Amino acid sequence: MSYLDLSTEDLKKELSKLKSEMEEIKALELNLDLSRGKPDKEQLNLSMEMLNTVNSKSILDAESGMDCRNYGGLDGIPEAKQLMADMMGTRPENVIVGGNSSLTLMYDIISHAMTDGLLGEKPWCQVEDRKFLCPAPGYDRHFAITEHFGMKLIPVPMNENGPDMDVVEELVSSDDTIKGIWCVPKYENPMGIVFSDETIQRFANLKPLAKDFRIFWDNAYCVHSIYQNEETDIPDIISECEKAGNPDMVYEFCSTSKITFPGSGISAVASSPANLIDIKGFLKYATIGPDKINQLRHVRYFKNIAGIKAHMAKHADILRPKFEAVDKILNDELNGLGIAEWTKPNGGYFISFNTLKGCASDTVTLCSKMGVAFTPAGATYPYGNDPEDQNIRIAPTFANMKDIKLATKIFALSVKIVTLEKLINKAA
Amino acid sequence: MSYLDLSTEDLKKELSKLKSEMEEIKALELNLDLSRGKPDKEQLNLSMEMLNTVNSKSILDAESGMDCRNYGGLDGIPEAKQLMADMMGTRPENVIVGGNSSLTLMYDIISHAMTDGLLGEKPWCQVEDRKFLCPAPGYDRHFAITEHFGMKLIPVPMNENGPDMDVVEELVSSDDTIKGIWCVPKYENPMGIVFSDETIQRFANLKPLAKDFRIFWDNAYCVHSIYQNEETDIPDIISECEKAGNPDMVYEFCSTSKITFPGSGISAVASSPANLIDIKGFLKYATIGPDKINQLRHVRYFKNIAGIKAHMAKHADILRPKFEAVDKILNDELNGLGIAEWTKPNGGYFISFNTLKGCASDTVTLCSKMGVAFTPAGATYPYGNDPEDQNIRIAPTFANMKDIKLATKIFALSVKIVTLEKLINKAA
């Protein structure tokens, strides 16, 4: 029965019962963690054979004949461009393959926009009221980059189809100090939703007032389904922007961080020919080139996109039960109480959980007191400020199944206690 | 007999003879290259076993217990800090180990100074007449980074002890828009000289007017002797700056690009505790961390600094005959003519060659017509502008011995022809 329909007396009775559970848990002095969007050891083990692919007997020439052991090749080897293009669903001639972090590519491009400007436009460091759109809940490290560079962060509401495009269209067409927007189009962090085709069309057809407005399209989870029969190929944003006459408006990113090894993967950016020339224009100062041997290691291990997909099916087999366990416990503990909603994603690394308004921070704090760490409430919003204080990001990948189950039960208990206290206070 | 003592008639006779040699060489349609400061294939082969050090059977935990396959560790693993510190002759607690390129660390720090400022000082992008000192002849990619960020490049003369410190001291103590200086203290590119202890002391004791003046101490060739008995450990600039009360004034860099594989090596920066905090302050936005598996790969292969030194002795055995062959041919062809000087370095990757004034560009152009590529004359000076047009960088590492010998002979022929023409014109 929904908490919202209970009398104050019944709420107090329920609270009293749950608090004694809480005390028992506190006594256990647990140390659990559902905060980290990291692969677990079993997932990392899936890629160990890749380390044998390149060894002292290997001929380390790329298809182009270039010796990958030596200097040269600013934009990656051709076969790596092909593989990363296939992951993103775009064309290799639109791709630069970088180092071990797509976040670095994003940071570097924004840093370049700050000091040099994009395609001849004014450097962003000279734009006093520069702003960036941040669909929220979203990824805190995206927001942090733009905050670091002195941008005002403008939250944009998310719905089940992606960012609220009415808001996006209105804002970008009326203010030339809005320089970009962060997007995770597939299995968005943290909601797990996939942008609808209509949303993607509307993105491609934006009419921004700023010539140097850019969509940062972080396709971080492009092949990261957790259901093997789930095929959610989204339209290629590079082609869609071209067709719409906006070829230079988007940078798309991906990496193998959550495919092989975080920190030892390869990354890529896709964009228009003009933007690629612009990017290489600063990369030639910023680097001697990417780690081409690691690019070879990846390509020779996977061979092609089919190899990647087969590999991702193994990741899915590890992750699916974890996501399902969290969902089942949340259902068992919270369904029908009228105090919570959460997503049931088909891929990605997170479940997005909403409490009643004003309950998220206290829930995370109480979890911490019971020995379970969550990402701080609000982290999924610009400046860490969730105006409704209701969103919590659950990361069920890194912990083992036993810990996940226990942590989720404690989480649900925490949600109930905090909500009951709020309801009782409100009634008083 | 010196060309300078010959009659015009004798000069013309000599020129005529050399020009017929030139025509014979042109007819060969050669395609040789002494421009590239790259290791050759034999050098690259020295490190192939490193690729076996990390394989599917390896436990990839760092000494700290961190799983190097996963996220985490912004500043590198402890054992890599130790190894890179030992290479630079400084302490591991002063070291951050980065990705595959020390040039990237330099670029990133200057980019950070541009947009954020260093230790609370004004961002360099707001300093209108920002300037950088460029000891010349020096490394063109250093100069290019600061030119890219809109700095005025001020050349500083080099002598056999390093940069002219009278000039450096005078400039930095009188102008607070001078924000830094590029240095390659050991086997300088291209001169091959090692900074004297006195030069290094004077660097550590600089009294710059700008609080955010920084020495960019690129110790790129710290273990790159070509004579095995040559031990040129220079004083530790980090400690020297500390002792002089200037702990924050220097960033030191090194990498394994010319030890293992260019592009697939590891890099490091050493600096004061305050500067390291400042660097990590932007790195946390710019990256998910360095490739820790590649750090492990390097540490486990070399084990310690003794392992590096034994490995570098093998490089030396490959490089020494090449340097000596160039020197011998230059001696055979040019000694006593009074028209050229060149360095005989004990390490590094280059020989620095000076023609008479005004002859360098024409010499490189004539070499090109005879099928031998050199780095463009002037490239070793800020803006590619050698005011005396006399310096040429010779890179004898990448080509095979046969090509090196032929290319150097053609180079010497080219020097003679160009100089003779100048002398004849001057006499006319």
Q: Is the peptide bond before B39 cis (omega within 30 degrees of 0)?
A: no
Q: Does A295 touch chain B (CB under 8 A)?
A: no
Confidence of residue A121 (pLDDT cuts 50, 70, 90): very high
Size of interface A-B (CB pairs under 8 A): 162
pLDDT for A284-329, tens place per residue? 999 999 999 999 999 999 999 999 999 999 999 999 999 999 999 9
List the single best residue of B43, B48, B51, B132 to mutate versus A (max A Cβ within 10 A): B51
Q: Is B115 a residue whose pLDDT tops 80?
A: yes
Q: Please check whether residue B401 is in contact with residue B321, taking contact to mean a CB–CB distance below 8 angstroms.
A: yes
Q: What is the mean pLDDT of residues B100-111?
A: 98
Q: What is the mean pLDDT of residues B38-64?
A: 97
Mean residue pLDDT of chain A comes to 97
The answer to whether A67 contacts B114, with C-beta atoms less than 8 Å apart, is no
CA A155 to chain centroid, in Å, comes to 16
Whole-angstrom CA distances from A331 to A348, A352, A368, A398, A406 are 20, 14, 22, 21, 14
Q: Is A190 a residue whose pLDDT tops 90?
A: yes
CA A384 to chain centroid, in Å, comes to 16
Q: Name A113's Cβ contacts closer than 8 Å, sequence gap at least 6.
A: A123, A124, A179, A212, A214
Q: Which of B103, B115, B144 sits opposite A125 (nearest CB)?
A: B115
Provide the chain A residues 64-103 that lie in CB contact (below 8 A) with chain B: 67-73, 99-101, 103
Q: Which of A52, A125, A291 sits opposite B291 (nearest CB)?
A: A291
Question: What integer pLDDT is reported at residue B428 of this predicted model?
Answer: 82
d(CA A313, CA A310): 5
The answer to whether A264 contacts B69, with C-beta atoms less than 8 Å apart, is yes
Whole-angstrom CA distances from A236 to A168, A202, A271, A281 are 20, 13, 11, 25
Q: Is A228 a residue whose pLDDT tops 80?
A: no
* Domains of chain B, first to last: 3-43+311-427 (3.90.1150.10), 61-303 (3.40.640.10)
Which residue has tokens 């891929």?
A: A347
The answer to whether A100 contacts B101, with C-beta atoms less than 8 Å apart, is no
Q: Please check whether residue A10 is in contact with residue A395, taking contact to mean a CB–CB distance below 8 angstroms.
A: no
The answer to whether A56 contacts B54, with C-beta atoms less than 8 Å apart, is no
The proportion of chain A whose per-residue pLDDT surpasses 70, expressed as a percent, equals: 99
Provide the chain B residues 5-64 that lie in CB contact (below 8 A) with chain A: 36, 38-39, 41, 44, 47-49, 51-52, 54-56, 58
Q: Is B112 a residue whose pLDDT tops 80?
A: yes
Q: Name A288's Cβ contacts closer than 8 Å, sequence gap at least 6.
A: A71, B100, B101, B103, B104, B257, B262, B263
Q: Name B146's Cβ contacts closer than 8 Å, sequence gap at least 6.
A: B110, B132, B134, B153, B180, B182
Q: Does A287 touch chain B (CB under 8 A)?
A: yes
d(CA B253, CA B222): 10
Q: What is the mean pLDDT of residues B359-379?
A: 97
Tell me the shortest Cα–Cα distance from B355 to chain A, in angstroms.
Answer: 29
Q: Does A290 touch chain B (CB under 8 A)?
A: yes
Q: What is the mean pLDDT of residues B312-331?
A: 97
The answer to whether B148 contacts A56, with C-beta atoms less than 8 Å apart, is no
Type of residue found at A266: I
Please name the helix (run of DSSP H) or strand (run of DSSP E) that holds residue A180, with its range, or none: strand A178-183
Please name the helix (run of DSSP H) or strand (run of DSSP E) that holds residue A355, with its range, or none: strand A351-355
d(CA B139, CA B136): 8
pLDDT for B284-299, tens place per residue? 999 999 999 999 999 9
Q: What is the mean pLDDT of residues B253-271?
A: 98
Confidence of residue A230 (pLDDT cuts 50, 70, 90): low
Which residue has tokens 């503990």?
A: A333
Burial A120-158 (b: 16+ CB within 10 A, else e): eeebbbebeebbbbbbbbbbbbbbbbbbbbebebbbbeb
d(CA B101, CA B268): 8
Tell me the shortest Cα–Cα distance from B419 to chain A, in angstroms.
Answer: 34
Confidence of residue B90 (pLDDT cuts 50, 70, 90): very high
List the single best residue of A115, A282, A349 to mutate versus B (max B Cβ within 10 A): A115
Q: Is A281 a residue whose pLDDT tops 70?
A: yes
Question: What integer pLDDT is reported at residue B358 of this predicted model?
Answer: 97
* Strand, helix or coil for residue A426: helix
Rg (CA), chain B: 23
Question: What integer pLDDT is reported at residue A24 of this predicted model?
Answer: 96
Rg (CA), chain A: 23
Tell me the shortest Cα–Cα distance from A427 to chain B, in angstroms.
Answer: 45
Q: Is A231 a residue whose pLDDT tops 70?
A: no
d(CA B321, CA B45): 18
Question: How many Cβ atoms from other residues are within 10 Å of residue B158's Cβ?
Answer: 21
DSSP A46: T
Question: How many Cβ atoms from other residues are within 10 Å of residue B336's Cβ?
Answer: 9
Q: What is the mean pLDDT of residues A363-378?
A: 97
Whole-angstrom CA distances from A337 to A1, A49, A415, B276, B384 are 6, 48, 11, 51, 73
- Beta strand pairing call for A391-394 and B214-218: unpaired
Whole-angstrom CA distances from B225 to A45, B135, B313, B379, B398 are 41, 22, 8, 24, 17
The answer to whether B263 contacts A288, with C-beta atoms less than 8 Å apart, is yes
Question: What integer pLDDT is reported at residue A428 of this predicted model?
Answer: 82
Q: What is the mean pLDDT of residues B159-170?
A: 98
Range name among A201-210, B52-61, B222-231, B351-360 with the lowest pLDDT average: B222-231
Confidence of residue B228 (pLDDT cuts 50, 70, 90): confident
Please give the backbone phi and psi of residue B385, each rounded to the nearest 5 degrees, phi first: -115, 95
Q: Is A171 a residue whose pLDDT tops 90?
A: yes
Question: How many Cβ atoms from other residues are within 10 Å of residue A9's Cβ?
Answer: 10
Please return the burial class of B59, using the count of CB atoms within 10 Å of its CB with bins 0-12, 13-18 and 19+: exposed
Find residue A32's DSSP bridge partners.
Answer: A372
| ipTM of the complex, rounded to two decimals | 0.97
Of A403, A378, A404, whose CA–CA distance to A391 is shortest? A378
Q: Is B126 a residue whose pLDDT tops 90?
A: yes
3-state SS, chain B, equals: CCHHHCCHHHHHHHHHHHHHHHHHHHHCCCCEECCCCCCCHHHHHCCCCHHHHCCCCCCCECCCCCECCCCCCCCCCHHHHHHHHHHHCCCHHHEEECCCCHHHHHHHHHHHHHHCCCCCCCCHHHCCCCEEEEEECCCHHHHHHHHHCCCEEEEEEEECCEECHHHHHHHHCCCCCEEEEEECCCCCCCCCCCCCHHHHHHHHCCCCCCCCCEEEEECCCCCCECCCCCCCCCCCHHHHHHHCCCHHHEEEEEECCCCCCCCCCCEEEECCHHHHHHHHHHHHHHCCCCCHHHHHHHHHHHCCHHHHHHHHHHHHHHHHHHHHHHHHHHHHHHCCCCCEEECCCCECCCEEEEECCCCHHHHHHHHHHCCEECCCCCCCCHHHCCCCCCEEEECCCCCCHHHHHHHHHHHHHHHHHHHHHHHHHHHC
Question: What integer pLDDT is reported at residue A66 of this predicted model?
Answer: 97
Structure tokens at B89: 């002759």
Q: Is A356 a residue whose pLDDT tops 80?
A: yes
